Amino acid sequence: MTQIIEVGVPDIGDFKDVEVIEVLVKPGDRVEAESSLVTLESDKASMEIPSPRAGMVRELRIKVGDKVAEGSLILMLEADEATAVPQKVPPEPFAAAAAPAPTAKSPAGAVDVQTEVLVLGGGPGGYTAAFRAADLGKKVVLVERYPNLGGVCLNVGCIPSKALLHAARVITEAEEMAAHGIAFGKPAVDIGKLRGWKEAVIGRLTKGLAGLAKQRKVQVVQGVGRFESAGTIAVTGTDGKATRVGFEACIIAAGSSVARIPGFPYDDPRLIDSTGALALADIPQRLLVIGGGIIGLEMACVYDALGSKVTVVELMNQLIPGADADLVKPLAKRIERRYEKIYLGTKVTKLEAKPDGLYATLEGEGAPGMAERYDRVLLAAGRRPNGREIAAEKAGVAVDERGFIPVDAQQRTRVPHIYAIGDVCGEPMLAHKATHEAKVAAEVIAGHKAAFDAMTIPSVAYTDPELAWMGLTETEAKKQGVAYEKASFPWAASGRALSIGRDEGATKLLYDPGTRRILGAGIVGVNAGELIAELVLALELGADMEDIGLTIHPHPTLSETSNFAAELAQGTITDLYLPKKK
Ligand SMILES: Cc1cc2nc3c(=O)[nH]c(=O)nc-3n(C[C@H](O)[C@H](O)[C@H](O)COP(=O)(O)OP(=O)(O)OC[C@H]3O[C@@H](n4cnc5c(N)ncnc54)[C@H](O)[C@@H]3O)c2cc1C
């Protein structure tokens, strides 16, 4: 079913009389939801106006040179049914909440500290929000339960894992050079020193954050914060004393915690989570990793390089289930060779602690008939948001059944002066999403017309090889029925990949068959995490295959593979032979 709708200029901030400099569609054109319709240019910026729905352009109502403002009619669209752009609008609990959202901003009763903005949680979301709000002139209190700022990311997440992954890469690269004539011998791992180096990296960063908070006069209050009302939070310190902080606006940045599988022996120190794995207590002889997602495989990569015999169990039929299967393949192939065993479509039904190890019973295709013994078991089966642990209900803030706090595009919860950002407000649980949302929330509080409107949030597995993707994946395109074409450049034809002995990678671009604009990209190979950024920018700027193909990339680099993939799409590639179409 179709429906004729008027498509107008959305909220474009304070701009009025903005000139139309380009009309990108004509009557009869098919447009996808979010594809650009017109380009406007003010004296400060140019912006593209996306289509709110997929459908066919019936009639244009503007032309180049016209001056428009919010609400001006752009075109009439024959919209497909149910193709509205997925908005970051809060689901059920938000809209359906029976009680009206509290609006009282002033605290009931006396407070110990009164502030304009209270940020609950000092992770990458929280400290970024606090610093941005302070830079915008707000008086800010930042509440964090631990002595160090930085949250999961700096202390037990992104940073320590990448330090250890760097060590792993050096070990495996040195090992693999033996085949090319340079043998270093078996590495002598001083685990204490390695741990010390990792701690020093964290220390430098967290110390830096404390300094940045001080420079901005952000008051850090240490303790566990819980809402008392829609205007106060009680912060309980390690001495048990509570500090009541009153706020005008609050940003919840309470993050997430490790998800647990019930019935496992959690009091046994041999059962660890990612924090335990990063603590690097020892190098277990046999390590079982439960969960073949990003965190599990990154840790597996570290322990494999350090000498553990690693087994991975994944419930789904694919490692890193969010990524396209063709991109996961080179990673799977490499680790199948290196690891003791990888079980897909399998679950651990029982984990029993015995004096000589942890015994895991597996269920699924190819699972061993008997319980297997491991020296350590790493549980990496996901993370859960901390929304239920802050007494959100006392402030009237809705929390969904999984523990997420629903927010709108301005990061607002159902209580208009309370915002939520980062892991606690939704997937994907990634630090760069948290920091981006943090700035939006702080800017909205400071009166700016900000909103979270990023076109994509890239994902990276810093495994060996790395795996990175952004925008639309092929799996999603097929599921959603989005028309696409793809070009996949094999790294076996990249001079740089060959010269570093790592030619198993691939760079894949998905693009719109009509406009040839990039829709998504995936890279598997060394440094894929660095390489994907260019393609994120391409998507944000609406680049097409010609733009990427004609952009001169330095030679010989792995970055050329994006260029080559675009040339493949354009049929202009010379680094591969494409048979002529008959
Ligand atoms: C092993 C591992 C590796 C990762 N690697 C990456 C990566 O490479 N790239 C990436 O983008 N992401 C990575 N992540 C995810 C990333 O760490 C998170 O997405 C990010 O830290 C989320 O930031 P946040 O500010 O929302 O929450 P968090 O970092 O979880 O911070 C929340 C903070 O709030 C505090 N807090 C919570 N409740 C309270 C309370 N009631 N009172 C006071 N303080 C409270 C917590 O102590 C914590 O400091 C990784 C995660 C893990 C576990």
Residue 83 CA to ligand 1 center (angstroms) comes to 33
Residue 102: pLDDT band (50, 70, 90) is: low
Superfamily assignment of 465-570 in CATH? FAD/NAD-linked reductase, C-terminal dimerisation domain (3.30.390.30)
Residue 91: pLDDT band (50, 70, 90) is: very low
What does the pLDDT average to over 134-141?
98
For the Cβ of 509 lying below 6 angstroms from any atom of ligand 1, the answer is no
pLDDT at 89 exceeding the cut of 70: no
Q: How many CA atoms lie within 13 A of 445 on its CB side?
A: 34
Residue 425 CA to ligand 1 center (angstroms) comes to 12
What does the pLDDT average to over 235-259?
97
Q: What is the pLDDT of residue 48?
A: 72
Residue 424: pLDDT band (50, 70, 90) is: very high
State percent of the chain over pLDDT 70: 93
CATH of 271-381, one of 3.50.50.60, 2.70.150.10, 2.60.40.420, 3.40.50.970: 3.50.50.60
pLDDT in tens, 440-483: 999 999 999 999 999 999 999 999 999 999 999 999 999 999 99
Amino acid (1-letter code) at residue 506: A
**pLDDT, greater one: 8 or 496:** 496
Helix axes 191-215, 124-135, angle to 10 degrees: 20
Task: Name the least confident of 25-39, 382-396, 449-463.
Answer: 25-39
Q: What are phi and psi of 212, to 5 degrees?
A: -65, -35
Residue of 132, 158, 407 with the most ligand 1 atoms within 8 Å of its CB, for mutation: 158
Residue 423 CA to ligand 1 center (angstroms) comes to 7
Q: Which of 432, 448, 553, 555 is catalytic?
A: 555
60 burial level (CB within 10 Å; 0-12, 13-18, 19+): middle
Residue 99: pLDDT band (50, 70, 90) is: low
DSSP result, 98-159? SSPPP---SPSS--SEEEEEEEE--SHHHHHHHHHHHHTT--EEEEESSSSSSHHHHHHSHH
Closest-CA residue, ligand 1 atom 7, reads 158
Residue of 119, 132, 144, 153 with the most ligand 1 atoms within 8 Å of its CB, for mutation: 153
Residue 46: pLDDT band (50, 70, 90) is: low
pLDDT at 96 exceeding the cut of 80: no
Q: What is the pLDDT of residue 408?
A: 98
CATH topology match: 2-98 vs 271-381:
no
For the Cβ of 255 lying below 6 angstroms from any atom of ligand 1, the answer is yes
For the Cβ of 160 lying below 6 angstroms from any atom of ligand 1, the answer is no
Give the CATH fold of the 2-98 domain: OB fold (Dihydrolipoamide Acetyltransferase, E2P) (2.40.50)
90 burial level (CB within 10 Å; 0-12, 13-18, 19+): buried
13 burial level (CB within 10 Å; 0-12, 13-18, 19+): middle
553 is catalytic: no
Nearest atom, ligand 1, residue 390 CA:
41
Say how far apart CA 50 and CA 31 lie, in whole Å: 10
Residue 42 CA to ligand 1 center (angstroms) comes to 39
Q: What is the pLDDT of residue 13?
A: 62
How high is the mean pLDDT of the chain? Answer: 92
Residue 387 CA to ligand 1 center (angstroms) comes to 13
Q: CATH code for 113-257+386-445? A: 3.50.50.60
The domain locations on the chain are 2-98, 113-257+386-445, 271-381, 465-570
For the Cβ of 512 lying below 6 angstroms from any atom of ligand 1, the answer is no
Closest-CA residue, ligand 1 atom 13, reads 158
What does the pLDDT average to over 301-328?
97
What does the pLDDT average to over 530-535?
98
Q: What is the pLDDT of residue 579?
A: 83
DSSP result, 26-39? -TT-EE-TT-EEEE
* pTM (global) more than 0.95: no
